[in-house]
Chains A and B, each alone.
Chain A
Amino acid sequence: MTEEEFINLYKNNLNKIFRFIYFRVDKTEIAQDLTAQVFLKVWQKMSLRGISQKRNDVAISNPTAFIFRVARNQIIDFYRQKNKTPISLEELKEKGIDIPQKSFVSKIEMSFEMENLKKSLQRIKPVYSEVIIWHYVDGLSTKEITQILNKNENNVRVLLHRALESLKKEVSKEV
Chain B
Amino acid sequence: MLEKDLINKLNEFKEIEPNKDWAHWLLSNILTKSQQEVIIKPRVKLVSFSFIHQYQKVLASAAFAVLFVSTFAFAQTTLPGNPLYPVKTLTQNARIALSSKDYKSVVRLEIAKARLSDMTKTIDQEQVIALMSQNIQKDLQAIPQELKNISNKKIALQVSQKVGEQTKDLKNLSNNLLNNNNLNQAIDEAQDKVYGFIFSTEEEINQCPSYLQDKLANLQKYFTDNVQTLVQWPIDDITKVRTFLGDIDNDVKAGNCLEAMVKIDSINQILQIHSLDIKVETSTPEN
Using a CB–CB distance below 8 Å, which chain A residues touch chain B? 3, 6-7, 10, 14-15, 18-19, 22-23, 31-32, 35-36, 39-40, 43-44, 47-48, 51, 102-103, 105, 108, 113-114, 117-118, 132-133, 136-138, 164, 167-168, 171-172, 175
Contact = CB atoms under 8 A, between A and B. Distances in A.
Interface stretch (B19-27, B132-140, B246-254): B19-27
16 contacts: A6-B31, A7-B27, A14-B18, A19-B17, A31-B18, A32-B19, A39-B27, A43-B31, A47-B39, A105-B232, A105-B234, A117-B10, A136-B7, A137-B11, A137-B14, A164-B3
Contact of A10 (B6, B14, B19, B27): B27
B131 interface: no
B235 A44 contact: no
Majority-rule SS of B interface residues: helix
Interface residues of B, number: 30
B98 interface: no
B30 A114 contact: no
Of B9, B16, B37, the most chain A CB neighbours within 10 A belong to B16
Contact of B18 (A15, A118, A172): A15
B1 interface: yes
Nearest to B2: A168
Contact of B12 (A18, A114, A168): A114
**For chain A, what secondary structure do more than half of its interface residues adopt (helix, strand, loop), or is it mixed?**
helix
Contacts, number: 85
B68 interface: no
A18 B15 CA distance: 12
Nearest to A137: B13
B30 A168 contact: no
B34 interface: yes
Q: A7, A35, A36: which has the most chain B beta carbons within 10 Å? A: A36
A51 B43 CA distance: 15
A43 B30 contact: yes
A47 B270 CA distance: 42
A172 B9 contact: no
Contacts of A164: 3, 6
B38 A47 contact: yes
B6 A171 contact: yes
Nearest to B10: A136
A121 B69 CA distance: 56
A40 B30 contact: yes
Given A18-B18, A19-B14, A105-B233, 11 more contacts: A14-B23, A15-B17, A32-B26, A35-B18, A43-B38, A105-B232, A113-B9, A114-B13, A117-B10, A137-B13, A164-B3
